[in-house]
Amino acid sequence: MAQYNSYCAAISAGKFNAKHQDYHDHYYGFAETEDNALFGSLLMEINQAGLSWDTVLNKSESIKAAYANFDIDQVANFTPSDIERLLKNPGIIRMRKKIEAAIYNAQQIQLLQREYGSFYHWIDSQHPQKEEDWIKCFKKKFKFTGKEITKEFLMGIGYLKGAHVPECPLYDKVLKSQPKWLEA
Ligand SMILES: [Zn+2]
């Protein structure tokens, strides 16, 4: 993507497949309120670390299937034998630390659900705050949530600005969806 200034520009140039087009047009930068979907987005960003978004997005179906359709409760209950099963699955990103982070984060989300009613309500209760404070807050709660991962996750669900460039044909649609960063 180096020759393009943004994901949007690369999409417009037809650089990516239909999967990217669908993600870009319907998910990227739009609010998400459903907990398992939010967990899925976070998990996808964690899986991307050190790899290209292309690699991860193209494996998205097998990642989703391997992680119980991103069901927080099921992933929170994964056992050491589930970790071994995932490590043998060529359809996913086979990295023990990422798998362990998915399980730990699902358990942390369960705690937030108990305290705040939902993962979504917890995220919303933290808003608005500065980017560096979001990063600190995610580092404290979760594993494998460094600066880039946290930023990408929050941009993807509309809490931080920057998902679509103003030149993108989708930009107006994103604005109309009232992303949270507009309120910050
Ligand atoms: Zn765009």
Ligand 1 centroid, distance to 152 Cα (angstroms): 14
CA 176 to centroid of ligand 1, rounded, Å:
14
Residues that are catalytic: 23, 45, 53
User: In a 3-state reduction of DSSP, which class is residue 67?
Assistant: coil
Give the model's pLDDT for residue 1: 46
> Which domains does the chain show, CATH number per domain?
1-30+166-176 (no CATH), 34-157 (1.10.340.30)
Closest CA to 11 of 173, 20, 157: 20
**pLDDT of 48 higher than 70:** yes
Q: How far is the CA of 29 from the centre of ligand 1 (A)?
A: 9
Q: What is the pLDDT of residues 54-103, one digit of tens each?
A: 999 999 999 999 999 999 999 999 999 999 999 999 999 999 999 999 99
Q: Provide the residue type at 38 as one letter.
A: L
Distances from the Cα of 168 to the Cα of 6, 7, 20, 38, 93, angstroms: 10, 10, 14, 24, 30
CA–CA gap between residue 184 and residue 167 (Å, rounded): 22
Q: Is 2 a residue whose pLDDT tops 70?
A: no
For residue range 116-146, list pLDDT tens digits in order. 999 999 999 999 999 999 999 999 999 999 9
Can you give the length of the chain in residues?
Answer: 184
